[in-house]
Amino acid sequence: MLEIRDLFKSYENKPLLRGISFSVSKGETICLLGASGSGKSTLLRMIAGLEFPESGQILFNKIDLAQTPPHARDFGLVFQDYGLFPHLNIFDNVAFGLKMKILESNSSLFGMSRQQAVGLQRRVAEMMDLVNLQGFEKRKVTDLSGGEQQRVALARALAPSPRLLMFDEPLGALDKSLKEDLLNQLRAILHKTKIPAIYVTHDQDEAFTIADRILFLHDGEIIRDGTPDEVWTKPNSAWAARMLGMGNVIEGVVTSPNKVKTEVGIFTLNCRHKHSKGEKISLLMKQSEEGVDEIKLKVEDVLFNRDQFQVKTKNGLVIHMKDAPKIGQIIRVKVQVECLA
């Protein structure tokens, strides 16, 4: 379906995207996860045809889209700020793109045929059902909550049956519980319609909920591409592990084939790579009862988090405990380190 080949883009001589390649297959939702400013929106704008790459290709069904204007690409876009038309009611907002498509395909100057108008009505009603907003057609945009407006934006993008859907941090402006609800609805809709989708976010929770595949965009490159399960088990870089909020990422120096020295102590390395003495590596430190190493840490702060206590230590590590320790207390924790190369 969609194939991105070796895309380059810079602004003011500063490289932003440096050789981006990936593809999206039928019915697949991929999530592009990257920090703010990493070029996620720029990449979507290029796929939409609103911006041009310096080099590289964007293909859909093996056809290069370089000469295809945005509206002829048949791609749907949903943004964080919804982008609804405030002067139109909900029906007209949802009908907008589809109406344009029908009018454009008509060679007559008399607008839509009766049959087409009926078809449009039916399609809008279908979309309102899909996003669970039956009966909202006559309402004004300004009378809707943020979550409802975003569902209207989704219905509008879906109405013309796009070949690809793109979401640019669509839930950024909504609160957490509403976000979860909408994400689950969106997931169900994407599975039902089987439209391939690219979902862009900096939020790892969103990525894990929505994605069949997660792509990490860092420093202008895709540094990891895998299923949520694969990237969680093997993030393969300190940056990805931090981005996923996986816990304590520390730096160390290899001192012998199975030992690594860090700021918080010397650990046993059980790794498939052959590291040489003196090599600097990033490590993920996991708390584990089966851990082969034990460390002593001084408690700096204690926070209650869901069903356990989150303990911050003097060295900036975060440890989870069932019972709250006292501030200043020395705690012993069993850990296991894993190399992140």
How does 1-19 read in b/e, with b if 16+ C-beta sit within 10 Å? bbbbbebebeeeeeebbee
Determine if 39 is a binding residue for ligand ADP (CB under 6 A).
Answer: yes
Q: Which of 38, 93, 201, 248 binds ligand ADP (CB under 6 A)?
A: 38
Closer to ligand ADP by Cβ: residue 15 or 119: 15
From first CA to last CA, the distance across the chain in angstroms is 32
Q: How far is the CB of 298 from ligand ADP (least distance, A)?
A: 38
Tokens 């045809």 label which residue? 49
Strands 197-201 and 29-33: parallel
CB under 8 Å, gap of 24 or more: what pairs does 205-213 form? 206/31, 206/171, 206/179, 207/31, 207/33, 208/232, 209/180, 209/183, 209/184, 210/29, 210/31, 210/183, 210/186, 211/29, 211/30, 211/31, 212/28, 212/29, 212/30, 213/28, 213/29, 213/30, 213/31
The smaller minimum CB distance to Mg ion, of residues 70 and 291, is found at 70
CB closer to Mg ion out of 41 and 237: 41
Is residue 315 at the binding interface for Mg ion, with CB under 5 A as the rule? no
For residue 39, the minimal CB distance to Mg ion (Å) is 8
Nearest distance, CB of residue 198 and ligand ADP, angstroms: 13
Q: Which is nearer to Mg ion, 41 or 116 (CB)?
A: 41
3-state SS class at 271: coil
Q: Which stretch binds ligand ADP (CB under 6 A): 39-47, 119-127, 141-149, 247-255?
A: 39-47
Kindly write out the interface string for residues 31-70 of this chain, putting x where it contacts Mg ion by CB under 5 A and - elsewhere.
----------x-----------------------------
Interaction with ligand ADP in 3-22: which residues (CB under 6 A)? 11-12, 16
Provide the binding-site residues for ligand ADP, judged by CB under 6 A: 11-12, 16, 34, 36-42
Provide the binding-site residues for Mg ion, judged by CB under 5 A: 41
